[in-house]
Amino acid sequence: MRERFLQKGFFALYDLSWRVALPLLSRNRRLAEGWEERTLQRPLPKGIDLWMQAASAGEAYLAAQVLDHLNPRGILKALVTTNTRQGMEIMRCAASSLSEKEKIQAHLAYCPFDRPRWMEQVIRQTGTRALVLLESEIWPGLLRAAKGQKIPILIANGRMTEQSCRRYLIYPGLWRSLSPDAVLAISTDDAGRFRGLFPDAAVSAIPNIKFDAVTITHREKGDSTKSGPTLFPEDAPFLVLGSVREPEEADVGKMIGHILHKVPNAVIGLFPRHMHRIDAWKDRLDSIKSSWILRSRAEGPVAPGTVILWDTFGELTRAYAAARAAFVGGSLAPLGGQNFLEPLAYGIVPVIGPWWENFSWVGQEIIDQGLLMVVRNWREGADALAQQLRQPQQLDSVRKSALHYIRSRQGGIERVCRTIGNLLENGNGGIEET
């Protein structure tokens, strides 16, 4: 009785906090897109079999991958929600190819805010039969609404840091009452933390399904970032600085100056993680007196020593395919890192900074085998990249080693898709015990 009273009070306060926050959230430019969906002013589709929540770009890639691998018995009507523009763009691209699969009908929307009364309304309106939360999407309003309608819940590719687990365990009774039916975690350590938080759930460790998304491929000669004229002179080594985030911009700016001093004929492709940082990068590149051009305005070979500031979306992977060396951002500041497997897939040993805990699932062995270079600061990174530009890597040898490393860790996607299929057919009875 006491626990029920406490939870009722928690959700009353939680609902009130969303109500108070909405006027402030309405002023956020990044939330303006999709505001009608976030606040239920635009109805979501009905008759949904599977709802997948994918927070941002990384989770959206996983959602697309899962849908692509699903093989339902009949037509599957899926709703994929995301919180960001990047996630939406990825899913829009994926939806065009999924449309060719007659059994999958994918509907996209921005995820409604987790206000409890709104989530209850969404669950009722959509008629969702199964809910899949990707990685670390644990929202109390959504979980409570799904539990109230006895909808089976799966956390797929689940990850949880020790710090997050400690925060959740401040109120363990709440989370036990909101327990999903199953968790497929990316490591035994993550699985242990989920068991501590959700003791009633069926928790298993599986290979991270991000390994299944990596394709090791032969490189094509020339510029694979666009059709038509190449962007790079033949004698200009191409470096990609990928997924650079705001807190590390000053250090990356120093890297650019240092690298162009040592390799003046290099061409650098600079990919900010968020497009709204393009104007800030224009000012920074001007301040360090670096020659630059926007990717959208580059129509032919650029001059050696130029920075191409990428202001178009969806070309990072193809840029890695054309590069001789690559730095992957989110790692020179304590941001957790970004996906460094993408350049590795093209035979490049990626260079990253010291903060990459979000990708620790890849394993220390990747460093021990010489397939990843971790540097302590921007200067070490700049020196390493300059060395790679001057002395090209053995791309085929790296590619073969990466292929073996990644293939030995694939297979998680099959487990996730099998579990989803079982949930859709058998409800809670579709959970596999391990």
CATH superfamily assigned to domain 238-407: Glycogen Phosphorylase B; (3.40.50.2000)
CATH topology match: 25-209+411-430 vs 238-407: yes
Measured distance CA(296)–CA(190) in Å, rounded? 42
CATH architecture of the domain 25-209+411-430 equals 3-Layer(aba) Sandwich (3.40)
The neighbouring-strand residues paired with 30 are none
Strand order in the sheet with 76-82: 104-110, 76-82, 50-53, 130-134, 153-158, 182-185, 202-205
Phi-psi region of 29 (alpha: psi -120 to 50; beta: other; left: phi over 0): alpha
Q: Give the per-residue pLDDT at 422.
A: 93
Q: Give the per-residue pLDDT at 334.
A: 96
Segments making up each domain of the chain, as ranges: 25-209+411-430, 238-407
Run means of pLDDT, 10 residues per run, the chain, 434 residues: 87 96 95 96 95 92 93 93 93 82 90 97 96 96 96 96 94 96 94 97 94 71 49 87 98 98 97 96 96 93 95 90 95 94 92 92 90 98 97 86 91 95 80 58
Burial of 395 (0-12, 13-18, 19+ CB in 10 A): middle
Q: Give the per-residue pLDDT at 228.
A: 41
Output the pTM of the full model.
0.74
